[in-house]
Amino acid sequence: MTSVLVFQALRSALRRPLPRQAARGLSSSRSVFAPASSPLAAVRDAASPVPAAPAAPLALLERSIALRQSAPALSYLAQLETPPSPLVLQKLAVLLTRQQKSRAYTIRAFEILRGVYRGPGLTPDDYTKLASIYVLDACLRFRLLDQAMEVGSDGADCDRIEMMVYEEAVNQDVVLDLPAYDALLTALLDAKRLDDAADILREVVGREDVCPTEKSFLPVLKALVKTHEYDDAAEIMRQGLNRGVEFTVDTYLPILTITEKHNEPTDSFENFMSFIENAWSEYKMLDGLDDDDLDDLDDPEDPEDPPSRS
């Protein structure tokens, strides 16, 4: 009888709802022991996500360069606390110069390359040469020859962009290719800067890494003769001959055509004509030409306005 009463009391207790605290504890214990794949575990994991680490600006800069994205690359460059390697900067300069319609990008590329040249411990390599050629070509394309740029922190010294690219390359013993030198000479002559063109031609002839051709000499020689700078013309031409440059009828005929109009009674003119006649005779002898062969050649075009020596 007693056992029956106990069983009935227990059954009645089991039918009553659990207290609120007990139910909450039971629910918590179920969530703890729930398998990871259960919906309850997924909700728990989603409530506290682990934030992903942001990509470093340097990695984003290199990625933008690889994807040829100029604007993002400049943005990430500005976020860096320390400058990237010279190689990364040179790649960025090349990328900017390839934006052929952007003058602002060309100036920015020049500034970046100038910073590379003036940075500590630079060891120029083939990519330095490539970047210099690209930047110089872009400057010429946008006619930045007369664009004044500040040099140094005080801004007291100014120079022109192309000349600065050339001078920085010379200071770091970076040798450009011949088309870059020829383009620079042409731009200087077009800007009436004969002195600069003559100086650069002398420097390039004196280098062992690259030697100008007759095509490089001819515009400068014609400009010197037209401005009656006979001594300089003879000196530069001798330098070319000593380097093995072969001057042909394409050089001698224009020079002789110009000098026919001068006929000056000065020692400088007479010495120059004597030098040209001797070199011309030697060329004809070596090339097997005679005067009858030369009569069939057309007179070369003669530019009207010679560059000034500024």
The pLDDT, as a whole number, for residue 124 is 92
Quote the tokens at residue 14: 């089991």
Q: Is residue 229 classed as helix, strand or coil in its secondary structure?
A: coil
Angle at 125 between CA 121 and CA 126, to 5 degrees: 160
Long-range contacts made by residues 53-58, C-beta under 8 angstroms, separation at least 24?
58/84, 58/88
Beta bridge partners of 159: 149
- Residue 53 main-chain phi, psi, to 5 deg: -70, 130
**106 CB-contact burial (10 Å; exposed 0-12 / middle 13-18 / buried 19+):** buried
Q: Which residues are CB-neighbours of 59 under 8 A, at least 6 positions away?
A: none
- Residue 158 main-chain phi, psi, to 5 deg: -125, 150
- Cα–Cα distance measured from residue 38 to residue 31, given in angstroms and rounded to the nearest whole number: 10
Instruction: Give the end-to-end CA distance of the chain in Å, rounded to a whole number.
Output: 130
Helices (H), 227-266: 230-242, 249-259
The pLDDT, as a whole number, for residue 261 is 87
pLDDT in tens, the chain (310 residues): 555 554 455 455 545 555 555 444 444 444 444 454 555 455 455 555 555 556 799 999 999 999 999 999 999 999 999 999 999 999 999 999 998 788 999 999 999 999 999 988 889 999 999 999 999 999 888 888 754 333 333 333 444 677 788 888 888 889 899 999 999 999 999 989 999 999 999 999 998 888 899 999 999 999 999 999 999 999 999 999 999 999 999 999 999 999 998 878 899 999 999 999 999 888 877 665 555 554 554 555 554 454 555 4
Beta bridge partners of 157: 151
Quick check: 135 and 110 in contact, CB under 8 A?
Answer: yes
One DSSP character per residue, 28-53 reads HHHHHTS-TTSHHHHHHHHTSPPPPP
- Cα–Cα distance measured from residue 2 to residue 132, given in angstroms and rounded to the nearest whole number: 106
3-state helix, strand, coil in the chain (%, to 5): 65, 5, 35
- Cα–Cα distance measured from residue 261 to residue 304, given in angstroms and rounded to the nearest whole number: 13
**4 CB-contact burial (10 Å; exposed 0-12 / middle 13-18 / buried 19+):** exposed
E-assigned strand segments in 105-232 = 148-151, 157-160
Dihedral, CA of residue 29, residue 30, residue 34 and residue 39, to nearest 10: -130
- Cα–Cα distance measured from residue 142 to residue 298, given in angstroms and rounded to the nearest whole number: 35
The pLDDT, as a whole number, for residue 99 is 83
The pLDDT, as a whole number, for residue 221 is 97
- Cα–Cα distance measured from residue 212 to residue 182, given in angstroms and rounded to the nearest whole number: 8
The pLDDT, as a whole number, for residue 164 is 81
